[in-house]
Amino acid sequence: MMNNMKQIKHHLTEPLLMGYAAGTLPEAFNLVVATHITMCDTCRAALAEYEAVGGEVMLDSNPVDVAEDALAATLALIDGGTMAETPAPVRAKNSIFPGPLQDYVSGDIDSLKWRKIGGGVSQLVLDTDGDASVRLLRIPAGTAVPDHGHHGTELTLVLQGAFTDEEDRFGAGDVEVANEELHHTPVAEEGMDCICLAATDAPLRFNGLMPRIAQKFIGI
């Protein structure tokens, strides 16, 4: 387990934990939730409670008829890795990527095929299904991400370093849940590059002309 677990201040919301437990989140959001849970004792315990409540609800429910292919469809979901599970806190030696994230990347942060997106910031879009998308962001120490708002929800989980914005400071393990009401300018702290895992279900809303021009090419 990570030494900084007790320092995590920003956690997942109840709707996110409930959605993950129920298996209703898009894959991109599932990945952020699963990764945070491996880093956070508090959210992992909360998820276990939601899953326990869900199990009790199912036991108390009246039986209903199911489709003949229900078992085969369930097994297919399990094989595809799309059903929600409570991940154990697994981390490869010398890696900043927790277990769930390691299934989506190969190598360490310096060996990944980062793509420059402007201002020194780099990204790596991960392969997921559904309308939401998820990416790794590498923000050089002291660098600001262009100020932006949101057309939907954005989950940003810090894996290394820290950033500050108009809301607060977010260090390793912290997750910021942004919605259409938040407009901010994240700035990576000095000392080390800030590595984040960010999922969005709608394009960001940039104010600057250049970020808006680049947006259609970088897909964020």
Q: Which domains does the chain have, with CATH numbers?
A: 5-101 (1.10.10.1320), 106-218 (2.60.120.10)
pLDDT at 3: 44
How many residues appear in the chain?
220
Beta bridge partners of 136: 124, 197
Backbone φ and ψ of 70, nearest 5°? -60, -40
When mean pLDDT is compared across 24-38, 87-101, 141-155, the lowest value belongs to 87-101
9-53 pLDDT, tens digit per residue, is 999 999 999 999 999 999 999 999 999 999 999 999 999 999 987
Contact 128, 137 (CB under 8 A): no
**pTM here?**
0.76
Tell me the CA distances in angstroms from 185 to 28, 134, 149, 158, 175, one per residue in order: 23, 19, 9, 15, 16
When mean pLDDT is compared across 9-13, 28-32, 85-89, 132-136, the lowest value belongs to 85-89
* Residue among 194, 200, 79 at smallest CA distance from 139: 194
